[in-house]
Amino acid sequence: MNSLFASLPTTVFETMSALARAHDAVNLGQGFPDDPGPLDVRQKAAEAVLNGWNQYPPMMGVPELRRAVAAHYRDWQGLDLDPEAEVMITSGATEAIAGALFSLIEPGDEVVLFQPLYDAYLPLVRRAGGVPKLVRLVPPHWRLTEEALAQAFSPRTRLVLFNNPHNPTGRVFDHEELERLARFCTRSDAVLVSDEVWEHVIFDGREHLSVLALPGMRERAVKIGSAGKIFGMTGWKVGFVCAAPALMRVLSKAHQFLTFTTPPALQHAVAYGLAKERDWFLSTRAGLQRSRDRLAAGLSSIGFNVLPSAGTYFLNVDLAPLDAALRDEAFCRTLVERFGVAAIPVSAFYAEEAIDTVIRFCFAKADSTLDRAVERLEAVS
Ligand code: GLN
C-alpha cells in the first residue's frame, strides 16, 4: 500500500501506553485520569442504556444534549447559541476536527496550524488536501506573536486549526493573543476551527475565553468541545460542535457520513452532567490544580526544570538544563524501560524543526501514582 496514511507511524500515545504496560511503568504519558469519573454521570449512562436509549438518535444529537450544551456555554462562557441551528453532537472532538477539515476546505487551500501540534491534526489536514502553514510556538512562553502569525497567514489561508488551552504546552492564550489571531483570520477571510476540549481544565482562577466570543468571529468560528475531557472519562468520545447556522449546515454533511450519530445513552448522561452545579466544575479544577502542583513540586525537588502549565492535564519538563546532549525521545524510552515511568516526547508534536528537549507528563492521577513516579525518577537525577 502506498497511501499517505500507510506511511504514518502508530500514534505516540498508543505506543507509549503499550510500552508502559510492557514495562509495568507508571503511565504519565497518554492523557487520561486514573479516576473512574463522576458516579452520578456514570449512573445516568447506565440507566439510559437500561431504559432503552440504544437505537440511532437524531443525526445532530439528542435535543436534551444540544439544549444542555447551549445552556452550559451561556452560563460559563456568555455565548448565545441556538441549540437547533448552532449545536451538533459528534463522536468525540477528533471526529469534529476531521469533519471540519473534510467539509470546509478544498484541495490546495492553505491551513494554518500551531506547532507543537496535537498529532492527529497534520495527517487529517493533508488527507483533506490542505497545504499546512505552521506557526511556531517557542518555550518557555509559547506565545502567539504578530511576527509568527504574519509568516503563516496569506490571502490563500482558508482555515485555521487552533487549540486553546493548548496540548502539549499547557498554555492558555490570553485575550490579546486571541484578538490578534482573530484579526488575522478576518484579514484572510479564513474560518477559525478552535479545539477547546480543555476549556474546563484551567487553573489559578483563569476563565476560558472562547473564540466564538471574539470580535468578528461569531460567523466564522467553529468551537469544538469534549465531554470526555469535561468529565474525565476520555473513552466516552462525545464531542460538541458550535458554529453559526451557515457553517453548521456544511459541518453536518461531514458528520452524517463519518459517524452519523453518537451513542444516545452517553448523550443523555452528558446532558445531565453539563447541568451539574458550578461547584462540581470548580472543585474538579481545584483537584487537578493540586495534582499539577504536586507533580511540579516533586519533579522540581529532584532537579527537573518544570515549565509553567496553566491548563490541560499536562506539564512539561525542559531537559536542556540537565544535560545539553539529552534528546526527548531517547530519554523517554530510557525512562519507561529502565526507570518505569512513561512520558511523551514533545518532538512528537512537531512536523518540522522539532524542539527535542522537552517531555510531557500527565498529572491527572491519584497522589499515590504521582508520588510513585517521582520516587522512581529520583534514580535518574
Ligand atoms: N489527548 C490525549 C493526549 O494528549 C491522547 C489521545 C490519544 O491517545 N489519541 O494524551
Q: Give tens-digit pLDDT for 238-278.
A: 999 999 999 999 999 999 999 999 999 999 999 999 999 99
- Return the ligand 1 atom nearest residue 17 CA: 8
Cα angle: 236, vertex 240, 246; to 5 degrees? 155
pLDDT of the residue at 198: 98
Check if 167 has its Cβ closer than 6 Å to any atom of ligand 1. yes
* Over residues 278-304, mean pLDDT: 98
Which of helix, strand or coil describes residue 344?
strand
157-190, pLDDT tens digit by residue?
999 999 999 999 999 999 999 999 999 999 999 9
pLDDT of the residue at 320: 85
Question: What are the distances in angstroms from CA 155 to CA 141, 158, 162, 166?
Answer: 28, 8, 18, 26
**Which value does ipTM take for this structure?**
0.94
Q: Which domains does the chain have, with CATH numbers?
A: 5-30+279-378 (3.90.1150.10), 39-274 (3.40.640.10)
Residue 98 Cα to ligand 1 middle (Å): 15
Q: In this structure, which residue's CA is closest to atom 1 in ligand 1?
A: 31
Site to probe by mutation for ligand 1, drawn from 12, 21, 30 as the one with most ligand atoms within 8 Å of Cβ, is 30
Mean of the per-residue pLDDT values for the chain? 96
pLDDT of the residue at 324: 78
pLDDT of the residue at 139: 86
Nearest Cα to Cα of residue 328 among 353, 346, 307, 302: 346
* Over residues 294-312, mean pLDDT: 97
Check if 30 has its Cβ closer than 6 Å to any atom of ligand 1. yes
Question: What are the distances in angstroms from CA 320 to CA 304, 316, 324, 341?
Answer: 10, 12, 5, 19
Residue 30 Cα to ligand 1 middle (Å): 5
pLDDT of the residue at 325: 85
Check if 29 has its Cβ closer than 6 Å to any atom of ligand 1. no
Residue 140 confidence class, pLDDT cut points 50, 70, 90:
confident
Check if 339 has its Cβ closer than 6 Å to any atom of ligand 1. no
Check if 31 has its Cβ closer than 6 Å to any atom of ligand 1. yes
Check if 252 has its Cβ closer than 6 Å to any atom of ligand 1. no
Check if 256 has its Cβ closer than 6 Å to any atom of ligand 1. no
pLDDT at residue 237 is higher than 80: yes
The alpha carbon of residue 154 and the mean position of all alpha carbons in its chain are separated, in whole angstroms, by: 26
Q: What percent of the chain has pLDDT over 70?
A: 100
Check if 169 has its Cβ closer than 6 Å to any atom of ligand 1. no
Check if 15 has its Cβ closer than 6 Å to any atom of ligand 1. no
Residue 19 Cα to ligand 1 middle (Å): 15
Nearest Cα to Cα of residue 248 among 210, 268, 220, 214: 220
Check if 163 has its Cβ closer than 6 Å to any atom of ligand 1. no
Residue 13 Cα to ligand 1 middle (Å): 6
Q: In this structure, which residue's CA is closest to atom 2 in ligand 1?
A: 31
- C-alpha span between 204 and 286 (Å, rounded): 9
Q: What single DSSP character describes residue 138?
A: -
Residue 3 CB neighbours (<10 A):
8
Residue 321 confidence class, pLDDT cut points 50, 70, 90:
confident
Residue 217 CB neighbours (<10 A):
23
Site to probe by mutation for ligand 1, drawn from 13, 15, 313 as the one with most ligand atoms within 8 Å of Cβ, is 13
pLDDT at residue 342 is higher than 90: yes
Q: In this structure, which residue's CA is closest to atom 7 in ligand 1?
A: 13
Residue 121 Cα to ligand 1 middle (Å): 12
Which of helix, strand or coil describes residue 316?
strand
